[in-house]
């Protein structure tokens, strides 16, 4: 049976690296066409949805906020002030560096560890595996997918391999 680190860290790292790659393609397109990056960074599909920047921020928040309490380490904090693709890429790269720095053994065996999840409606207790499968992973994939969709919608030529990697 795979360990907690095996079913989480590689997935987070791969998709975050792919997200950074997608944003680099957007950077190149926007530079070539002399488009204003601010229109992309602030773009949202619907008024009550997060902007592109907030989608990327959330995609980096979920893995950090999952790993830190289980591994009992301090996650880096970000101010959510990114205004450019370069700043968002840097945030993703810092998140990947943090995830790579965490000793996987500190996450393994935490399936039953109780964790407090802070929600706007109040705190809730969940077990490590429950947090991963029912909260972190679905939210992470949602925000990565929505960021990818916003890039595609705004003319960045991306395909499934950009989102999922080449293998």
- 62: domain CATH number? 1.20.120.450
Cα atoms in the 13 Å half-sphere on the side-chain side of 70 = 31
Could you say which residues of the chain have pLDDT below 50? none
Boundaries of domain holding 76? 4-107+114-164
- pLDDT value of position 165: 80
Phi then psi for residue 116, to 5 deg, are -90, 125
Number of domain units in the chain:
1
Instruction: Give the torsion sign (CA, 111, 112, 116, 120).
Output: positive
Residue among 41, 31, 40, 136 at smallest CA distance from 82: 41
The pLDDT value given to residue 147? 98
What is the pTM assigned to this prediction? Answer: 0.95
Q: Return the pLDDT at 50.
A: 98
């Amino acid at each position: 049976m795979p360990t907690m680190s095996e079913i989480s860290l590689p997935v987070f790292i791969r998709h975050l690296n792919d997200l950074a790659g997608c944003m680099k393609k957007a950077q190149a397109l926007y530079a070539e066409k002399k488009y204003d990056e601010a229109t992309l960074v602030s773009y949202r599909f619907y008024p009550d949805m997060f902007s592109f920047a907030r989608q990327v921020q959330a995609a980096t928040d979920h893995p950090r906020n999952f790993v830190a309490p289980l591994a009992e380490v301090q996650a880096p904090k970000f101010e959510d002030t990114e205004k450019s693709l370069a700043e968002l890429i840097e945030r993703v790269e810092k998140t990947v560096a943090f995830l790579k720095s965490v000793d996987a053994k500190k996450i393994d065996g935490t399936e039953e560890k109780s964790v407090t999840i802070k929600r706007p409606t109040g705190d809730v207790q969940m077990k490590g595996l429950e947090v991963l499968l029912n909260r972190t992973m679905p939210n992470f994939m949602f925000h990565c997918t929505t960021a990818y969709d916003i890039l595609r919608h705004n003319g960045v030529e991306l395909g499934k391999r950009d989102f999922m990697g080449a293998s």
